[in-house]
Amino acid sequence: MLSEAQKAFYAENGYLMVEDAVTPDQLARLQKITHGLIDASRHVSTSDEVYDLDKGHGPDGPRLTRIKLPHKRDPYFWEILTRSGVTEVLTDLLGPDTTLLTSKLNTKAPGGGAAVEWHQDWAFYPHTNDDLLAFGLMLEDVDEANGPLMVIPGTHKGPILSHNANGVFCGAIDPDDPLFERDRAVTLTGRAGSMTVHHARLLHGSAPNVSDRARMILFYEIAKADAWPILGANSYFHALGQRRFWDDLQDRTITGAPCLAPRLEQVPVRMPLPPAPDTSSIFRMQESGGAKSAFG
């Protein structure tokens, strides 16, 4: 699906925009399922294993920051990952054997939906090599006003900046870090059905949604099968044990098969420790860890 020029652009810059990653029919079905999940949150009063609630959420106006693990809420999210144009892009960039790390459906509510402070995904889950990426499938049009993803090109080749504050891993960099070059940021906007790709080491963030429209983006975070986790912030798999971990790995295999010979590369690693007081989501982690906001 990707041209050689697109692959070269991703390798050099660490991000990519892919238009029409899904068909109109696939997009319509994803939108319908998502609106159903949001509607079902009306009578949820506290964040739980499915919903991360935003300030002001209530039965008359659901306001969410995230639907957690959407591929476990409806099998169609898994189908899109494994049998669509999304799968073709994945194979083009990571090869035939891939593993899902996590999925999330960020649903920034209009009128101030929460920002995601600048960070590198790699800081949350260092692996034996850095063939990891994230897809962001836009379920609605994304413009400058509704909190689009912003990236800093080329930072996937640079250092892993500190994501600690107040002695804990807060999941965000300090915007005053001299290595943070905000003036080089690129804003990724696009039509519904478009998809962003960003490397796990790329610096990125997103501002609050100040528009009157929701910003719904379906994220999949994915590793090449020979990239094995060293540690994951708020990771569940350390508690699984050998048998349950193996079963879980089968469930998270997107394409091909698991690889039992990790590829070891010289990659920069900082452990995501000590944990912040609340690690239930990146929003709670950044808030409870005292991350300094880059968005005022």
CATH number of the domain bearing residue 74? 2.60.120.620
pLDDT at residue 234, as a whole number? 58
The pLDDT tens digits of the residues spanning 42-91 come to: 999 998 999 989 888 989 889 888 999 999 999 999 999 999 999 999 99
Domain total of the chain = 1
Helix (H, G, I), strand (E, B) or coil at 33: helix
Q: Assess if residue 265 is contained within a domain.
A: yes
Q: Assess if residue 227 is contained within a domain.
A: yes
Fill in the DSSP letter of residue 294: S
The pLDDT tens digits of the residues spanning 158-171 come to: 999 999 999 999 99
Q: Assess if residue 65 is contained within a domain.
A: yes
Q: Assess if residue 162 is contained within a domain.
A: yes
- In whole angstroms, what is the distance from residue 41 CA to residue 37 CA? 7
Mean pLDDT of the chain: 94
The partner residues of 133 in beta bridges, in order of sequence, read 199, 222
Q: Assess if residue 293 is contained within a domain.
A: no
3-state class percentages of the chain: helix first, strand second, coil last, to nearest 5: 30, 25, 45
Residue ranges making up the domain that contains 249: 4-288
How wide is the angle at C-alpha 278 spanned by C-alphas 276 and 279, nearest 5°?
A: 80
DSSP strand pairing (215-224 vs 164-165): unpaired
Q: Assess if residue 115 is contained within a domain.
A: yes
Listed residue (151, 220, 156) closest to 187, CA to CA: 151
Q: Assess if residue 296 is contained within a domain.
A: no
Q: Assess if residue 295 is contained within a domain.
A: no
What average pLDDT does this structure show over 21-38? 97
- In whole angstroms, what is the distance from residue 69 CA to residue 49 CA? 9
The partner residues of 132 in beta bridges, in order of sequence, read 223
Kindly give the interhelix angle for 24-40 and 75-82, rounded to the nearest 10 degrees.
150
Model pTM? 0.95
Q: What are phi and psi of 147, to 5 degrees?
A: 75, 50
Helices (H), the chain: 4-13, 24-40, 70-73, 75-82, 85-94, 121-124, 242-252, 282-288
